[in-house]
C-alpha cells in the first residue's frame, strides 16, 4: 500500500510503501524476526536495481497499530506486522526481500499500486 503520509509524517521522497505481513514461527520454539542491525530483515529493490533499507527516510515514523506486533513470534501462532519504505515514485513496484537469521533471502514482486486484503485498513490507520 502506498501513501503520501498524513499531517504529521510526510515521506522525504515521494511516497511510503507499507507492506503488511503475517509472521509465524516455523519451528516448535519462539522465533524472532531478524532486525537489519543483525544482518537480516526487510529490504526493497527498486525496478532500477537500487537497494533500499527498511525504515529509511521518514519510514521509521510510520506506524499502523494493527500491524505493529514486534519481533517475537510464539510457536503455533502468528503476528501481524509491517515493513515501511520511503520511496521515490519510480521505485514503486520493486522486489521485497526478507533475509532470515540464517541468511536465506525470500523475495516477492510488489505491485506499483495499492493491493492486498489489508490496504483499506492500513490507509485508514495511517491517515490519522
CA distance 64 to 124: 9
Per-residue pLDDT tens for 74-119?
Answer: 999 999 999 999 999 999 999 999 998 888 999 999 999 999 999 9
Let me know if 30 is exposed, middle or buried by CB neighbors in 10 A (0-12, 13-18, 19+).
Answer: exposed
Q: Are 69 and 81 in contact (CB under 8 A)?
A: yes
Average pLDDT over residues 6-18: 96
Q: Which structural domain, as residue segments, surrounds residue 29?
A: 2-127
| Rounded CA separation 70/33 (Å) | 8
| Per-residue pLDDT at 5 | 94
Regarding predicted confidence, which is higher, 37 or 59?
A: 59
Average pLDDT over residues 19-24: 92
State the pLDDT at residue 33: 78
Please give the average per-residue pLDDT across 27-37, as a whole number.
78
DSSP 29: S
| Sign of the dihedral defined by the CA atoms of residues 10, 57, 116, 71, in that order | negative
Number of compact structural domains in the chain: 1
Q: What is the pLDDT of residue 37?
A: 61
Per-residue pLDDT of 45-68, as tens digits, reads 999 999 999 999 999 999 999 998
pLDDT at 36 (0 to 100): 64
Residue owning grid cell 533499507: 53
Cell numbers 536465506 correspond to what residue? Answer: 104
Question: Which residue, among 27, 7, 26, 6, has the nearest Cα to 16 in the 3D structure?
Answer: 6
For residue 72, pLDDT beyond 90? no
How many other C-beta atoms lie within 10 A of the C-beta of residue 39? 10
Q: CATH number, domain at 58?
A: 2.60.40
Q: Which residue has the cell 521515490?
A: 88
Amino acid at each position: 500500500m502506498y501513501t503520501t503520509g498524513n499531517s504529521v509524517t510526510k515521506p522525504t521522497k515521494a511516497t511510503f510503501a507499507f507492506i503488511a505481513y503475517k509472521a509465524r514461527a516455523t519451528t516448535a520454539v519462539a522465533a524472532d524476526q531478524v532486525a537489519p542491525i543483525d544482518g537480516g530483515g526487510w529490504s526493497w529493490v527498486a525496478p532500477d536495481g537500487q537497494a533500499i533499507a527498511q525504515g529509511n527516510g521518514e519510514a521509521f515514523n510510520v506506524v499502523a497499530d494493527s500491524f505493529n506486533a514486534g519481533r517475537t513470534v510464539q510457536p503455533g501462532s502468528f503476528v501481524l506486522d509491517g515493513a515501511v519504505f520511503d520511496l521515490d515514485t519510480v521505485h514503486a513496484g520493486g522486489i521485497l526481500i526478507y533475509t532470515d537469521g540464517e541468511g536465506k533471502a525470500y523475495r516477492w514482486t510488489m505491485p506499483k499500486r495499492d493491493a492486498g486484503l489489508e490496504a483499506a485498513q492500513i490507509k485508514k490507520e495511517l491517515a490519522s
